[in-house]
Amino acid sequence: MTLDAVLAHIDAELPKATDRLLDLLRIPSISTDPAYKADCDRAADWLVEELNGLGFDASKRPTTGHPMVVAHNEGTGPHILFYGHYDVQPVDPLELWDTPPFEPALEDTDKGVVIRGRGSSDDKGQLMTFVEACRAWKAVTGSLPIKVSIFFEGEEESGSPSLVPFMQQNADELTADIALICDTGLFESAVPAITTQLRGMVTEDFTIKGASRDLHSGMYGGLAGNPIHVLSDIIAKLHDETGHITLEGFYDDVPELTDEMRSQWQNLSFDHASYLGDVGLSVPAGEQDRTPLEMIWSRPTCEVNGIWGGYIGDGFKTVLPAQASAKISFRLVGQQDPDKIHNAFVKHVKDNLPSDFTVEFTPSR
């Protein structure tokens, strides 16, 4: 049987496939930081070379941001397109890593051997499973059984600003009968799953500004307003005491689960205690009238991803900072409109901004 032979070939070649993945993981392709632009280019070049070596017609395509990688292998029958991304998230804070993030290594754990390194599970590891599957199938049979296109982007971790324009400009080339994405999770490692929906995202980066300069707390403390206090209050008011998000109209376009879907999810017997326990937590947060699976699969979210202001170095500096900043992200579902959510967030910030303070919003890149 062809499939059995291909799987056997994959098993036999696993060390070589792992080495190739480790090579890709060593490239620090952090898309959101301009300092790593050359590394994102290098990752795209690496993928183009690999795909051309497999017989694909592969090329690196420029965008206003990081390049796309597009590859085609002609064939008969249905046309499938596989999507993945070669960029990764920043690695800060470095002191929390047990090993250097771009020096990947195999590690024995109680769950088996894992690869430690930035991008190993999002999304370079998944991306390479498809590349290696194509490699194995061609090695065993000589050719792929259908027409296959591969589409890798380099900005998924920074909001994919170039993705939609590129797809619109190249719609004919990228149109396929089936599109596959391998950037999701499994309910359990031994339970197959087909993911049919993903949440969207809105990101907000903003700064609260107060006094014209940092102030000495011995001279101005208690009298002058503190941007960190204001920022903290604005963030705290994004949720009510039951975990619901308070932005005006936030839930207007959020669909409810069907009874059939809810019953199917309940039958999965999801163990949220174990799920949270794996990361040292135990109590579900979020909307208290929702099940844990609803929270992570079908409900929108509002999360604080970063917050800073004042002196954060070693020792102490008794300063009232002139400004404080935060990064907030919203996961969206159903028919939620990103622009509507953005406008509601801007209104929330301005409505809770005291006199003497201003706000500056930094457009998402």
Residue position matching structure tokens 């390479």: 128
Reported as type and span, the H/E element at residue 297 is helix 292-297
Q: Can you give the pTM of this predicted structure?
A: 0.81
Is residue 176 within 8 Å of 77, Cβ to Cβ?
no
**Residue ranges of the alpha helices (H) in 101-215?**
124-141, 163-169, 171-174
Chain segment 105-136, per-residue pLDDT in tens = 999 998 889 999 999 999 999 999 999 999 99
Is residue 206 within 8 Å of 288, Cβ to Cβ?
no
CA-to-CA dists, residue 68 to 42, 201, 348, 356, angstroms: 12, 21, 37, 46
Tokens of 357: 């303070």
Residue 365 has pLDDT above 60, yes or no: no
Residue position matching structure tokens 């939609």: 164
Structural domains of the chain, with CATH: 2-181 (3.40.630.10), 200-362 (3.30.70.360)
Chain segment 201-242, per-residue pLDDT in tens = 999 999 999 999 999 999 999 999 999 999 999 999 999 999
Is residue 201 within 8 Å of 311, Cβ to Cβ?
no
Q: Chain-centre distance of CA 217, in angstroms?
A: 39
Specify the pLDDT at position 187.
80
Is residue 181 within 8 Å of 83, Cβ to Cβ?
yes
Tokens of 298: 């079908």
Sorted by sequence, the CB contacts under 8 Å of residue 318 that are 6+ apart come out as 216, 217, 218, 221
Return the exposure string of 139-149: e unless at least 16 CB atoms fall within 10 Å of the residue's CB, then b. Answer: ebeeebeebbb
Specify the pLDDT at position 197.
84
Specify the pLDDT at position 1.
65
Are β-strands 79-85 and 147-153 bridged in parallel, bridged antiparallel, or unpaired? parallel
Is residue 75 within 8 Å of 147, Cβ to Cβ?
yes
Comparing CA positions, the residue from 227, 232, 230, 205 lying closest to residue 214 is 227
Give, to the nearest 10 degrees, the angle between helix 124-141 and helix 14-25. Answer: 140
Residue 302 has pLDDT above 90, yes or no: yes
Reported as type and span, the H/E element at residue 342 is helix 338-351
Q: DSSP class of residue 191?
A: B
Specify the pLDDT at position 150.
98
Cα–Cα dist 219/271, whole Å:
54
Q: Compute the average pLDDT of residues 152-156.
A: 97
Q: What is the mean pLDDT of the chain?
A: 94
